[in-house]
Each structure stands twice: as C-alpha cells, then as structure tokens.
Amino acid sequence: MTEQLTQQKERLSFADWMRRKFGGILHPPAAFLNRIGLMPNTVTLIGLVGNAVGAYFLARGQMTIGGIFVLLMGPVDALDGAMARLRGHPTQFGAFVDSVTDRYSELAIYAGLLYYYASHQQWLPAALVYLAASGSVLVSYIRARAQSVGVETKVGILTRLERFLVLAPTLIFNIPLVGLWILAVFTHITALQRILDVRRQFRQGGGYR
C-alpha cells in the first residue's frame, strides 16, 4: 500500500514535468520583475488583461493577432508563481487568485470566439466553442472538487497547459476549427479521466460508496 502511494506521488502530469524541466527559464524574468517592485498578483492581472485584449481581436475575426496575444500571455501566466517562489513566501490566496484568473482568461478567449461565430451565424463552430469551454471548466472543477474531499487528480489528456498548446498555434495559423474540435472532444474525455481517477483513489483508500 505504501509503495502504491509513493508511486502515485511520483507520477507527474505533463505540466508538472514541464515545470520541473523548464521552470528555471522563468527565474531570470521573474527575478527582474521582483526587483522592479511588481507583485505576483499584479502580473496575474496583467495576464488577464492581455488575454482579454486577445479575446477582443478574436471577436473581430482577427484570429492570428488574437492568437499572438494568447501565446504571449502563456508565459506571463506562469511568471506569477515563479515570482512568488523566488520571494520565498507563496501564499494560498495568491494561488487562489492565480487559479481563478486562469479560468477568467480562458473563458474570455472562448467568449471572443463565441461572439465571432454567433454574430456570423456559424452555429457549428459556436457549438464547438461551447463544448470546449464547458469541458475546460469541468476539468478544472473536478480537480478543485476532488481536492475539497482530500483527493488530488491531475491526470488527463488536456490539462490547461495542453489546452494552451492546442489553442494558441491553431489561432495563430488561422485554423481555429481544428483546435476547437480537439478541445471540444478531448476536454470532456479529460474530465471523464479525472472522474475515474478520483473513483479509483476512493476505492483504494476504502472511501468508495
């Protein structure tokens, strides 16, 4: 049993692996932002504003420009955590703000796309946006709900990093429907993967009902 728990703790998500492998790249810019007096929560809000600007261009149908904003805001979204760690006092409230802001940023991007497709009466793409947005929210919600009952689940094909790696390039290359199809299908598969993972952990821990 102890060995199984150890294996679970050592099993890394793709996002965790990327953070361990390349997290040091963020240290120099994070240290610079700390030196000039910016707070991590300020950088979090800058990321939100940048994604909102990107969403504005997406709503106008300027997919490439909007995608560039989305791409640029990806590293910004990661800088706040690196800044807090370098300061030596990451806070639970900071992590909370970061998580909530990430959801707002993602939904702003989907809102821009939904506005564009709905205003042009392109209902299939609009439906794909809805499915992608709802799946993305469910993936995050399931993890948060699991944590509230003492279970951690990070498994799945499309965590937030993977969603970013799908969405940003397809917007930049002006093939948003490709990204939306992938997101519409695989976010819901990811949500199901997390539900099954939580169920497995409850069964192993004797808390399954």
User: pLDDT tens across 129-171, in order?
Assistant: 999 999 999 999 999 999 999 999 999 999 999 999 999 999 9
Pair of tokens at residue 78 = 């990661």
pLDDT at 98: 86
The yes-or-no verdict on residue 32 having pLDDT over 70 is yes
pTM for this structure?
Answer: 0.87
Share of the chain above pLDDT 70, in %: 86
The rounded distance, in Å, linking the Cα atoms of 158 and 139 is 8
Q: Which pLDDT belongs to residue 1? A: 39
As a whole number, the mean pLDDT across the chain is: 88
- Is pLDDT at 178 greater than 90 in this prediction? yes
List, for residues 77-126, the tens digit of each pLDDT value. 888 888 888 887 667 887 888 889 999 999 999 999 999 999 999 999 99
pLDDT at site 75? 87
CATH code for the domain defined by 2-205: 1.20.120.1760
pLDDT (mean) for 44-69:
97
pLDDT of 18: 63
Band (25; pLDDT cuts 50, 70, 90): confident
Indicate if 80 belongs to the active site. no
Catalytic residue among 77, 80, 98, 102: 102
pLDDT confidence of residue 16: 66
Contact 76, 47 (CB under 8 A): yes
The predicted model gives 191-196 an average pLDDT of 97
Confidence of residue 7 (pLDDT cuts 50, 70, 90): very low
* Of 101, 104, 1, 86, the residue nearest 41 (C-alpha): 101
Say whether pLDDT at 180 is over 50.
Answer: yes
Higher pLDDT, 204 or 127: 127
Other CB atoms within 10 A of residue 131 CB: 17
Question: Which is more confidently placed, 61 or 96?
Answer: 61
What is the residue-wise DSSP string for 27-85?
HHHHHHHHHTT--HHHHHHHHHHHHHHHHHHHHTT-HHHHHHHHHHHHHHHHHHHHHHH
pLDDT of amino acid 15: 64
